[in-house]
Amino acid sequence: MALGKDYLGQECAVARALELVGERWTLLVVRDVFYGVRRFSDFQAHLDIPRAVLTARLATLVDAGVLERRRYQESPPRDEYVLTDMGVSLWPAIYALAQWAIQYVPSAAGAVREFAHVPCDTVVDRTGLCPACGRVAPPGELEMRPGPGIHAYKRTDPVSLALRKPHRLLEPLHPVIAAAV
């Protein structure tokens, strides 16, 4: 954590996790990558994050091994950011935070999104368990769908619009974004 001091003597795992992903914006960036966002400008449009901060966060995450920066076109040179195994493993933490907020920090009208286990076509429960097969659904097998609270969602940037369609996690969202313009 780049805040003068780090979490110092805290030789605790929670502290080490927060050093990497506990800064402002960081977990929202990672969440967006699960949703399929991969490009600088798409993060920017979706999060309204200052460009300098986004640059810094992406660099930290690539540095730490959470994201991988990958060239997807040579001229002009363009890179995208994708999750490594380490990054994908953050899913349980992100999902747990989201479910906690859905239960205890309610917004207008219920969950904006829900997650279905694709092989079973069943919405997973609060702990991430698929009621149909009884297993914990890995993010790659989840499809994000608009939930009952989607009406409350007011953003109109291309990324937000693209995210209103059912979409497999981790799949690149950009084709959908491009089509939405």
Binding site residues, a second copy, CB under 8 A: 1, 3, 7-22, 24, 27-28, 31, 47-48, 64-65, 86, 89-90, 92-94, 96-105, 107-108, 111-113, 127, 136, 149, 152-155
Report if residue 157 touches DNA, rule: CB under 7 A. Answer: no
Phi, psi of 67 (to 5 degrees): -115, 160
Phi, psi of 143 (to 5 degrees): -115, 130
The site that binds DNA (CB under 7 A) totals a number of residues, namely 26
Instruction: Tell me whether residue 24 or residue 78 sits nearer to a second copy (CB atom).
Output: 24
We find the least distance from the C-beta atom of residue 175 to a second copy, in angstroms, to be 22
d(CA 167, CA 139): 12
Report if residue 24 touches DNA, rule: CB under 7 A. Answer: yes
We find the least distance from the C-beta atom of residue 142 to a second copy, in angstroms, to be 15
Phi, psi of 46 (to 5 degrees): -80, -35
Q: Which of 39, 113, 117, 167 binds DNA (CB under 7 A)?
A: 39
Q: Which of 5, 11, 154, 156 binds DNA (CB under 7 A)?
A: 5
With CB under 5 to 8 Å by kind, the binding choice for 9 among DNA, a second copy, none is a second copy
User: Which region among 17-25, 91-99, 114-122, 140-148 touches DNA (by CB under 7 A)?
Assistant: 17-25
